[in-house]
């Protein structure tokens, strides 16, 4: 099948909701039933899905545009692609933002404020989110650890949290960073 033929193939945008009608996920697929089976195997949040809505488009381009619009405006809880802020991990977007230039002028005050219980701060460059500074919390663990009823490939893993390894100065390291440091020693 040529690429022009695949572009005119009928394509669906689907929305997945929990029992309280909260939008969990928006996706696009030629075969939604097959995609749902894939989600059932791979997504830890699948057991929360109670309602599935499917909207058909005449071509993939139209469906992709509708999916992008829906993700941006409807803010599904578990979408990661096309999302600048992972709500399911960090909660609602904080009001505090700061440019990298502002942060570089006095980083210690900003870090002290966050460590002292202040809200997360989004650092921006050219008006786009670059990084989020958040206080360390036992609650910021991988989703599979917070949800003991999760099923799927991730629930069988060891479940390291982001504070699984520590630097000598007591700061938390991401597990991959720790692996790289161990290899460098």
Looking at the fold, whether 67 and 126 belong to one and the same domain comes out as no
By residue range, what is the domain housing residue 175? 143-184
Looking at the fold, whether 57 and 114 belong to one and the same domain comes out as no
CB within 8 A of 75, min separation 6: which ones? Answer: 23, 83, 87
Asked whether residue 138 is assigned to any structural domain, the reply reads no
The CATH number linked to 111 is 3.40.1620.10
Asked whether residue 17 is assigned to any structural domain, the reply reads yes
Asked whether residue 64 is assigned to any structural domain, the reply reads yes
The CATH number linked to 20 is 3.40.1440.10
Asked whether residue 159 is assigned to any structural domain, the reply reads yes
Looking at the fold, whether 73 and 119 belong to one and the same domain comes out as no
Torsion of CA 137, 140, 141, 145, to 10 degrees: 100
Among candidate residues 120, 121, 122, 157, the one with its CA nearest the CA of residue 142: 157
Looking at the fold, whether 155 and 106 belong to one and the same domain comes out as no
Tell if the pTM clears 0.85, that is, is over it.
Answer: no
> HSE (CB half, 13 Å, CA atoms) of 114?
19
pLDDT in tens, the chain (185 residues): 555 554 578 999 999 999 999 999 999 999 999 999 999 999 989 999 999 999 999 999 999 999 989 988 888 988 877 665 666 666 666 667 888 999 999 999 988 888 887 778 888 887 677 788 877 665 555 444 444 554 444 433 333 443 333 333 444 444 444 444 444 44
How many structural domains are present in the chain?
3
CA distance linking residue 160 with residue 176, whole number of Å: 11
Looking at the fold, whether 96 and 35 belong to one and the same domain comes out as no
Residue 72, helix vs strand vs coil: helix
Asked whether residue 69 is assigned to any structural domain, the reply reads yes
């Amino acid at each position: 099948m040529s690429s022009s033929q695949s572009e005119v193939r009928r394509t669906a945008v689907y929305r997945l909701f929990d029992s309280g009608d909260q939008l969990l996920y928006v996706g696009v697929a030629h075969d939604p039933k097959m995609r749902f089976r894939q989600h059932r195997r791979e997504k830890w949040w699948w057991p929360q899905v109670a309602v599935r809505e499917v909207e058909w488009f005449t071509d993939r381009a139209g469906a992709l545009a509708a999916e992008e619009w829906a993700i941006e405006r409807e803010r599904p809880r578990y979408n990661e692609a096309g999302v600048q802020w992972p709500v399911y991990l960090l909660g609602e977007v904080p009001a505090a933002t700061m440019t990298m230039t502002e942060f570089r002028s006095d980083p210690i005050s900003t870090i002290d404020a966050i460590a002292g219980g202040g809200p997360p701060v989004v650092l921006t460059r050219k008006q786009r989110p670059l990084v989020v500074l958040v206080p360390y919390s036992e609650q910021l663990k991988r989703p599979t650890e917070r949800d003991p009823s999760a099923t799927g490939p991730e629930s069988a893993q060891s479940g390291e949290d982001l504070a699984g390894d520590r630097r000598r100065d007591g700061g938390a390291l991401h597990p991959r960073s720790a692996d790289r440091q161990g290899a460098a020693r």
